[in-house]
Structure 1
């Protein structure tokens, strides 16, 4: 009897997830995740990226496993291990802070200073069925230390394009940190971001995981990049921002 995965995928599902591949070898597979797709779990009754990994299942029932997550509305690079040893290796490297993640984001006005590091403790709170993070004082029970580096790449009177590098991996960290310094991300309704940008609507959270550098199970260091999505590029162009 042939192996049947626990998730039924359509031909369109399989074609879609295969079209998102930006790197694949014997050990790892990297995707350019579109905005609006949950990495795992999620309350929306739709396939997640984790579900879609069944498209790569082998006859013995083994399939790739995600190594990390991105918020549903964040686009860009996300990594999976193709074998159990590879996934375990990458998971340990992630815990050891050997991953370097680089994001691009749009904000309404240039930060002051133009670059720097945000060091603020975060506390997770449940509000109804939603999880939120908020900045709290060091020593608050349950608070987690978190750090983000940022720098301005392009800015004018229409807005700014910034590069973000999380030094820790807390939920919603980049979004909360930028809101904390008075520069919430465009399209981020949860943390006070504007839903318009440069005179037009912002279609979603304007946060893109553009580059990921990580130790490869075979020994070298690998960097994978995801190009800017069309909606992100369109807002940049409308505001006259350049990369």
Structure 2
């Protein structure tokens, strides 16, 4: 954090977001730098439009990026922001150093991609001491600073996780995610087989009341728009299917909520599928959701396009169900045009059939008129 101008307390001030605060929530920024500004005060500032980030209105739960400018309204009787004391991180053990390096599947000047195993959280939280964020000192390599997280995966979701190697590249990648030019493709095993094998799910998602924000649900009235494409790769009779999933929005737990909402929960997802999310007959009870591929614009030009191998339990389940691994990467990662989707093709076919019926009807009338 750095103040752009030393202004009196009765005037609005602006602060430039520091590298150490990149991609944290705005309310967390206030807890770090202005602990006397309560959540209620920050919420009131946001609600009345007094709080601005790069000149735009912002909410307490929004994430901020290094280099952005935060405008804070007059602080009334609040004291000056307290300088943040940097907490020293203990050095990694040799075991942790070896572990985090073993996860790297891509490295260049700007980015690192790791293949996150299931069971390892992306960031810390209640009762979570070991996480990717806490191991990032082990991925400095020749760079001065530690890499930075630019997106997340659920603790039990495995796969490709992108890290930026500087504040500048972090801002570049964060912009790609917020503008939805970054593309992610997942593999999943689901219970049952959808009647439409290549479809799109558009259901708004919100936080389920009474869960402390830890669980999401389909909220038709107040939920945020969410869109997912799915394609069935192979099916194991009617018991299970291997699907490719592509989120076109980035809501919390989006893929898990959407698949459960259409009656086909992801195998092992008891949180959203309950007991119906488990398949008998030797299939692992772990979550079968894997971030298979990520593609994003590289700061140096061109595309960064990385594929991550699934974890052991996922591969064993694919093998147990008799699926052919060579079929798994057929879905284009770009968002399809509506005319190319199953829904679009169906509507086009219906329109063509309607036109043919109308033409035949016209022919019958013509023949009737010549008699």
Alignment TM-score, normalising by the size of structure 1? 0.91
Tell me the secondary structure at the aligned position of residue 90 of structure 1.
helix
Q: Which residue of 2 aligns with 1:132?
A: 215
Q: How many angstroms does 1:203 deviate by?
A: 3.4
Q: How many angstroms does 1:110 deviate by?
A: 1.3
Q: Which residue of 2 aligns with 1:148?
A: 228
| Residue from 157, 161, 167 that aligns with 2:242 | 161
| Residue from 221, 224, 227 that aligns with 2:306 | 224
Residues 1:101 and 2:181 aligned together: no
Q: How many angstroms does 1:46 deviate by?
A: 2.5
Q: Which residue of 2 aligns with 1:233?
A: 315
| Superimposed CA distance per residue, residues 184-236 of structure 1 (whole angstroms, 9 cap, x where no aligned partner) | 00000100154542512523110000000100010111210001211101011
Q: What stretches of structure 2 of length at least 5 have no aligned partner? A: 1-86, 326-371
Residues 1:55 and 2:138 aligned together: yes
Residues 1:170 and 2:213 aligned together: no
Q: Distance in 2 between matches of 1:41 and 1:98?
A: 28
Contact 2:143 2:165 in 1 (8 A): no
Q: Which residue of 2 aligns with 1:115?
A: 198
Q: How many angstroms does 1:60 deviate by?
A: 8.8
Q: Distance in 2 between matches of 1:45 and 1:209?
A: 22
Q: Which residue of 1 aligns with 2:260?
A: 179
Alignment TM-score, normalising by the size of structure 2? 0.61
The structure having more radius of gyration, on CA atoms, is: 2
State the number of aligned residues: 237
Q: Using a 3 Å threshold, how does the CA distance of structure 1 residues 147 and 195 change in structure 2: closer, same or farther?
A: closer
Q: Relative to total residues, which structure has the larger strand share, 1 or 2?
A: 1
| Superimposed CA distance per residue, residues 113-137 of structure 1 (whole angstroms, 9 cap, x where no aligned partner) | 0111000001113545561110021
| Residue from 105, 108, 111 that aligns with 1:28 | 111
Q: Using a 3 Å threshold, how does the CA distance of structure 1 residues 159 and 218 change in structure 2: closer, same or farther?
A: same
Q: How many angstroms does 1:70 deviate by?
A: 0.2
Q: Using a 3 Å threshold, how does the CA distance of structure 1 residues 95 and 239 change in structure 2: closer, same or farther?
A: same
Q: Relative to total residues, which structure has the larger helix share, 1 or 2?
A: 2
Greater relative CO, 1 or 2 (CA 8 Å, sep 6+): 1
Contact 1:198 1:239 in 2 (8 A): no
Q: What stretches of structure 1 of length at least 5 have no aligned partner? A: none
Q: Distance in 1 between matches of 2:189 and 2:141?
A: 40
Q: Distance in 2 between matches of 1:204 and 1:5?
A: 35
Moved more, 20-29 or 37-46: 37-46
| Superimposed CA distance per residue, residues 144-200 of structure 1 (whole angstroms, 9 cap, x where no aligned partner) | 000000000010224210000000000000000000100000000100154542512
Q: Using a 3 Å threshold, how does the CA distance of structure 1 residues 229 and 220 change in structure 2: closer, same or farther?
A: same
